[in-house]
Amino acid sequence: AQTVTQSQPEMSVQEAETVTLSCTYDTSESDYYLFWYKQPPSRQMILVIRQEAYKQQNATENRFSVNFQKAAKSFSLKISDSQLGDAAMYFCAYTGTASKLTFGTGTRLQVTL
Amino acid sequence: DAGVIQSPRHEVTEMGQEVTLRCKPISGHNSLFWYRQTMMRGLELLIYFNNNVPIDDSGMPEDRFSAKMPNASFSTLKIQPSEPRDSAVYFCASSFGTTFFSPLHFGNGTRLTVT
């Protein structure tokens, strides 16, 4: 079974600074997708970014980018120029051929002034 | 695009009562997922449907839980009888195709409290 591990329960970053959230996963599949979701206090799950495993190029979405290391099974999220609105829970997630999205336990990001 | 619509947003009920959670997926999406979120267990997939047919219900915790999707625009998750340990936030999500090809769009969730 696939597993997703987020080893940082909480992280803190100052406004305008850069922060990296870690995620590792375990799978025997060669083709899969990885996602980062954001859950603000409103509790809605919002897709931040996704990465296809067969694409070597790291995905980027404005201030959000990933560092995808397929051999190491690592998928970290970098948030540049952090804003107060970035404060939320961030979940790393995996989906493969079984088409089930498996989530990590989440990292709570605090943004300070 | 109205997004995935869940109702009610909050539900408080007494142990032993029947609870029904409702979900309207995004129009045109043909996959629907029910997730449960708790502090202890995080986000767990309960069941998912493709083209209104249940594909995988291995995450449904007990026979007290049941889910239906009578048509492409509506699904219910029922708990009967409810227990305090069922207290959680229940999310419905939909996608076009399967999650392998397209990301999930989540509703705002239903916070269930069983006393």
Q: Report pLDDT digits (tens) over A2-54.
A: 899 999 999 999 999 999 999 999 999 988 999 999 999 989 999 999 999 99
Per-residue pLDDT for A76 more than 80?
Answer: yes
C-alpha torsion sign, points A33, B26, A79, A62: positive
Q: Decide if A22 contacts A74 (C-beta within 8 A).
A: yes
B93 touches chain A (CB under 8 A): yes
Question: b/e for B64-76, b at 16 or more Cβ within 10 A?
Answer: ebebebeebbebe
More confident residue, B92 or A30: B92
Question: How far off is chain A from B98, nearest CA to CA, in Å?
Answer: 6
A68 touches chain B (CB under 8 A): no
B70 touches chain A (CB under 8 A): no
Q: Which residue, among B115, B97, B90, B71, has the nearest Cα to B20 in the 3D structure? A: B90
pLDDT reported for residue B69 = 97
Q: In chain B, which residue's Cα lies nearest the Cα of A98?
A: B100
pLDDT reported for residue B10 = 97
Number of residue pairs across A and B with CB atoms under 8 Å?
A: 49
pLDDT reported for residue A99 = 75
The CA distance from A47 to A91, in Å, is 10
Q: What average pLDDT score do residues B63-90 get?
A: 97
A21 touches chain B (CB under 8 A): no
